Chain A
Amino acid sequence: MAEATPIPATVNAYEHARGEGLDGQWAFAVSWRLLMKNVDATLVDEGLREALELVRETGESPEELFGSPGVHAAELFERWRRDGRLNPAAVKVPTSRSLVASSLKASGWIAFIMFVLELVGGRDLPVGFFALPLLLGFATIGGVAFWEWASHAWATALVVTVMTAATVGIGAATVGVLEVTSGTSLGALTPWLLLLEAAVLWSAGTVVLILVTAKTFAEVQDNPDDEQWVRRFSGVLRGPGWQSDARVREIVREARSHAAESGRTLAAEFGPPDAHAMAYGVDVRRRTTLKIALYAVLVALNLVPMVDGFSWATTAVALFFTWQAWQEYRTYDRFRSSAQVAS
């Protein structure tokens, strides 16, 4: 979950420092590049503020003072890496208890959304409908956790295949539950029971969450051998939205080739696997494409029930996902154009 950071305020301050909108674009591009390398947002903001002071003092443009966003971001990253200020243990998986807690809370939210849709739509629904929030909540959180784990261990194509099969299975189970209970309905009580269900599930999730302690994914050995290094390095690089499988293979192959010629181990030649993976960071274009594709699928799935008839609630949800996809594209476009302007 992204934390609220003052980065947007700092970017805004760049725009006002000399009254130059392009300065804001420069700051945005620097912050974007660093955040894409999983650098802590507070640290990114510190770096931006440091440069902002000089921009204010000198009245010079940030490009003139610090170079292009890419160069300045790389310099900050390298300096923080040398000073040991980066926290490379950014890849975490939750414990099984935290998964249960998150699933219960997600189920609670889904029940609440269904309650709102029911108030608006006012359809007569079968009893089996009450199982849907739980089914969807656990499926969503389970799916995200599985993706997080499998994408660090398996090829993307295999992960997508398994996820697709699981989605079809869950869809079939949902239809089955609704079909079996199609003869029974709770009538006018339906929306209010959904609200009660939402409150119970959300509270249960909160209680379980209090007992949870997250632990980091696979501790990194102090002195890994080449195979351990590659496993960890490629695992981090394969994170969702980072680098494609083909690119990861290429980077690893090149690292092995270099280490073979230098006669040193990968750890000696490239340093800790997490820190080296962070130097590559995410593939911004790939991450944006994946996110937009995800929103497109959500819009399509959401529009399927409209075959039965028009619904304002469904249209609103579809529009929300479309707006999210547009925001993703705008962020990417802003990043791309600011990088071009400053280069």
Chain B
Amino acid sequence: MTDPPRWPTPWVRAALDLAVLASLVDGRLHGYAIAQALAEHGFGLLKGGSLYPVLNRLEEAGDVEAAWTEGRGGPGRREYALTAAGRDRLERELGSWRELGETLTTMSRGTTHG
């Protein structure tokens, strides 16, 4: 049983690349663990069909790197880690999101008209 996403689907989609990068800040994770981390943070449980194309794109862009690790008794896993470029992108784009949030807050207060 998993909770539905806390935000509208278009928002989740727009923030997905960044959310995946953020889930890797504390260290390497395999695909399923990334999906669980996203679910725990309110993004809803992403199915593999939605998650892996994103991971593939991030890997192609050089934002994450992947390596196989042998599973303990189970099948092997492909673990993903943030690269330096991915860390830079995360920082840069988080700044933009914050700026967007602040702008919306300021606008909603109705105090800036010039």
The complex places the Cα of A71 from the Cα of B61 at a distance, in Å, of: 11
Q: Can you report 6 residue pairs joining A to B where beta carbons are below 8 Å apart?
A: A70-B57, A253-B78, A254-B52, A254-B78, A261-B74, A270-B47
B residues sitting closer than 8 Å to A (CB atoms) are: 13, 17, 30-32, 35, 47-50, 52-54, 56-57, 60-61, 68, 71, 74-78
Interchain CB contact under 8 A, B48 and A269: yes
A residues sitting closer than 8 Å to B (CB atoms) are: 70-71, 74-75, 78, 250-251, 253-262, 269-271, 275-276, 279-280, 343
Determine which of A74, A255, A275 lies in contact with B48 in the assembled complex, contact meaning CB atoms within 8 Å: A255
Interchain CB contact under 8 A, B32 and A262: yes
The complex places the Cα of A305 from the Cα of B54 at a distance, in Å, of: 51
Main secondary structure of the interface of B (DSSP, over half): helix
Determine which of A74, A256, A257, A259 lies in contact with B53 in the assembled complex, contact meaning CB atoms within 8 Å: A74
Smallest Cβ distance from A125 to chain B, in angstroms? 52
Which residues of A lie under 8 Å from residue B75 when comparing CB positions?
Answer: 253, 256-257, 260
Interface centre among A74, A251, A255, A271 (most CB of B within 10 A): A74
Interchain CB contact under 8 A, A343 and B76: no
The complex places the Cα of A71 from the Cα of B58 at a distance, in Å, of: 10
The complex places the Cα of A255 from the Cα of B77 at a distance, in Å, of: 10
Which residues of A lie under 8 Å from residue B77 when comparing CB positions?
Answer: 254, 257
Interchain CB contact under 8 A, B78 and A270: no
Q: A71-B17, A343-B61 are known contacts. Are A259 and B48 too (CB-CB below 8 A)?
A: yes
Smallest Cβ distance from B38 to chain A, in angstroms? 13
Determine which of A250, A271, A275 lies in contact with B47 in the assembled complex, contact meaning CB atoms within 8 Å: A271
Determine which of B17, B31, B54, B61 lies in contact with A258 in the assembled complex, contact meaning CB atoms within 8 Å: B31
